[in-house]
Structure 1
Amino acid sequence: MAPDRSEVAALVEPIVVGAGFDVDDVAVQRHPGSDDASITIVVDGDEGVGLEALTELTRTLTARLDQQPWAQQYALEVMSRGVESPLTLPRHWRRNHGRKVELVIGGTAGIGETVHGRIGNLIGDTVSVVVNRKGRLGVREVALADVESAVVAVEFGEPSPAELRLCRGDD
């Protein structure tokens, strides 16, 4: 019998947290017509998650999962959050401080406002977003509850010193 998501989450969370990381997601996908399953564990950390840490976590989690009755019926993948992962929790915003973001702020009738900016300070449940409007920098305070969706935007250049000062709240 394949495991369910809550069972796997309860098994892996103490190990991941003990290693200094957060469990960002647990997914269990059952294979049609069998008891086999694919288990995906997504982890995150304040300084990201390096390849060595992922390798060690995979070994430790495999050893723990192999003790379960369904041990021969799963494939495990342990991965870090990708840059395309949505920002859904306060820690995602905090960990991406200073990075470019594209967010949709809730509106009426399901039509939200798209904002492009740079992630500033997170205070409580409000994030500062540094926006550039035709060369004029400003700070917009956004309640996380109003964010319909948000993802880090890939950028190839360096941010301006003025943008970074505003992200830190220096100006």
Structure 2
Amino acid sequence: MTAETQIQTVEKLIAPLLVDDIFLVSIKIKPTNNFKIYLDADSGLGIEKCIKINRALYKVMEEMGLYPDGDFSLEVSSPGVDEPLKLLRQYKKNIGRNVEVTTNDDEKKEGILKEVTDETIIIEYTEGKGKKAVTVNPVISFNDIKQTKVLIKF
């Protein structure tokens, strides 16, 4: 079974376990059949939900006998704050937060995520200082975005 086939199988198996507002962000697989599954939820994803889904998915995979010797492992978590946003739903969930957008030409823009559509985002930041300060709201196409990270300020 190729890694791609394995990931597709796990995607099908996990789908019924994603209740409420929980959604799949990505699945990665390491050579030792170690599945790293990243989930998120519109209202935030607690560790308890990750553990519950991990146990349920493990049981289903074991019962199906995908890995006869139990030769697989699962890690179910939400993407860390250092993980870039991947899905439109993640962008929408983070409206109002500080983000750093890196465009395809490696230009970085930092600002508050104001609006998200199917094709674009709008961020807001201030250019200039003092009396010359101007608030700008550039519209950035998803096609022009290399990555977007949420910035956590302390």
* Coarse TM-score class (shorter-chain normalised): 0.7 to 0.9
2:153 to 138, 152, 155: 155
In structure 1, list runs of 5 or more residues that go unmatched.
32-36, 157-171
Deviations 1:13-48 (A, max 9, x none): 2222x35311111122222xxxxx211111011011
Counterpart Cα distance in 1 of 2:7 and 2:148: 25
In structure 2, list runs of 5 or more residues that go unmatched.
none
Aligned to 2:21: 20
Counterpart Cα distance in 2 of 1:96 and 1:84: 14
Relative to the length of structure 1, the TM-score reads 0.77
Deviations 1:109-150 (A, max 9, x none): xx3321111111113311110112134322111111111111
Aligned-residue sequence identity (percent) comes to: 23
Aligned to 2:13: 11
Q: State the Cα distance separating 1:77 from its structure 2 match.
A: 0.9
Two-structure CA RMSD over aligned residues (Å): 2.0
Residue 45 in structure 1 maps to residue 79 in structure 2: no
Q: State the Cα distance separating 1:9 from its structure 2 match.
A: 1.6
Amino acid at match of 1:115: K
Counterpart Cα distance in 1 of 2:34 and 2:2: 9
8 A Cα contact 2:25 2:87, kept in partner = no
8 A Cα contact 1:28 1:38, kept in partner = yes
**Off by >6 Å, runs of 4+ in structure 1:** none
Residue 60 in structure 1 maps to residue 61 in structure 2: no
